[in-house]
Amino acid sequence: MITWMQKHNKFLIWTIWIATIAFIASGPIFSGAGYGSSKAGNVAKVGNIEISQEKLNMVYTSIYSQYNEKMQGTLDEAKAKEMGLPQQAFQRLATQAKILNFAHDAGIITSNQEVLQRLEHLPIFQKDGAFNKEIYLAYLKAQRLKAKTFESTLKEELTIQKTMALLSVKGFPFEIEVIGAAMNVSDKLAYKVLTQNDVNFVAEDAKIKAFWEMQKERFMTPQMYAFSIVWTESKNAEVTESEIKDFFEENSYNYTNAEGKQLSFAEAKAQASNDLKLKKTKKTAQKAYIAFKKGKLTESEKITLAIGDKKLTAAIWDALKDKQVGDILKPKVVADMYATIKVENVVLPKVKSYEEAKADATLLYTQQARKEALLTLAEETVKNFDLSTATVSDFVKLEENVNLKPLNTQESLQFLQKLFTSSKEKGMISVMDKIVVYTIMEQKIAPIDENQTAFVKQTVNQLKRNTFESNLIKMLDKKYPTESYVGGLTN
């Protein structure tokens, strides 16, 4: 899913952050550290529209939270930067600003009444099916947002939606006919599925060592930290049922399931209770931090951990990366406790010896060598394809649920998707850890089924929309140039 999101990001430009508001409830703020200085609170200007740091924070937090959910909560700031999420957030805002410039020039506007109606229908701000102002205000407070900023953003979203709706063009009959015909092409195949088991391979120690020698830097010891930690427990903090319920209602937008649906009090009670206890314990943890810093309190434990160890949270590791020996980190939440952490020593990574790296080097070398050997075998099989030893399929179509043995259903679908977007009559296609060598024996085109008409129209409309949006952005890029006040936000 992450790969899909990155690959198709250019087609997600109209989906402004409000549409995925459930994701915004928890996530980091993009500080812009290391990206230069902003100008009067703005990071860039597109056409006549300024992009504020506050707005960039909103979009970055939304994108970060979406990726973090898809990655099962394992995303951290370092990985987010590596994946280019700050640049994605800025690119989305820049694209939206270009559309808003265009809308302004074209006289497309959104009234305050329309904004109010949209706001009142956002599920995350509703209680018992109706808009709840207290939930809305609590959300703004938690996100450190002004109502004016949030509602201005919502107005922009509606303007973008209006603009794109006015510019949308549906498929013509002849386009539907052409695409329908392409979708009804069926092929009869002769194919062979090659796997690692078809390759004769022995990992020789000399070759593994040569592989390690060429890329020693890939085999490093982890950076190690020696810590003194003061733990402040929250489990004994006293909370009443009514306190938990009040706390939950004030922060209900923080409690959602994997689909982003808000949890009921009964479903979220345990987590809300834990969060409330942590809130009540925060002052105690801060006092412990001060006492520890002054030398009046000894640590709860001394421990040495490799960077990224799951005993501490990703947020703590992110905060520690800029700390020096002797620095003390203010209390941070770990499960149901606060941790006040002092950095006692840092052991930097070093290149592992061959013996230390041998197991990892053997694994990587074997994977790479087997892939290369399998590819060589596939190329030879294409050149000398023997129909007598191949599997022959019935006529197959892309949208049919076909299982081309020995491939499973998912592998078969992936193979057919690549096959029907290829112009080659014979060749090879990689599928997961396998390679399918094929030749098309026969091809036919079936007439469009009446039941397919709606799907074909939808496909044509989507193709036209994607093409139109891509060309529109190219045109707007020239008409409304981007002036960035902050370095590093563009790829």
- The per-residue pLDDT for range 293-304, each reduced to its tens digit, is 999 999 999 999
User: What angle is formed at CA 265 by the lines to CA 259 and CA 270, rounded to 5 degrees?
Assistant: 90
The amino acid at 337: M
Identical fold, 2-169+469-484 and 221-347: no
Give the per-residue pLDDT at 112: 94
Q: Where are the domains of the chain?
A: 2-169+469-484, 185-203+359-445, 221-347
Q: Please provide the CATH number assigned to the domain covering 221-347.
A: 3.10.50
- The per-residue pLDDT for range 239-275, each reduced to its tens digit, is 999 999 999 999 888 888 877 788 899 999 999 999 9
Q: How confident is the model at residue 40 (pLDDT cuts 50, 70, 90)?
A: low
Give the N- to C-terminal CA distance of the chain in Å, as an integer: 22
Give the per-residue pLDDT at 345: 95
- The per-residue pLDDT for range 421-477, each reduced to its tens digit, is 888 999 999 998 899 999 999 988 777 666 777 777 888 888 888 888 888 889 999
- The per-residue pLDDT for range 136-146, each reduced to its tens digit, is 999 888 877 88
152-156, 168-172, 219-223, 235-239: lowest mean pLDDT where? Answer: 168-172
Give the per-residue pLDDT at 116: 94
Q: Cα separations (Å) of 466 from 8, 169, 170, 469, 479?
A: 10, 11, 12, 5, 20
229 forms beta bridges with: 301, 341
Give the per-residue pLDDT at 23: 40
Give the per-residue pLDDT at 16: 42
Q: Taking the model in full, what pTM does it have?
A: 0.47
Give the per-residue pLDDT at 491: 62
> Who has greater pLDDT, 45 or 400?
45
From the options 1.10.4030, 2.60.120, 3.20.20, 1.10.760, give the CATH code of 2-169+469-484. 1.10.4030
Give the per-residue pLDDT at 39: 59
475 — phi, psi (to 5°)? Answer: -70, -45
Give the per-residue pLDDT at 28: 55
Cβ-contact 186, 446 below 8 angstroms: yes
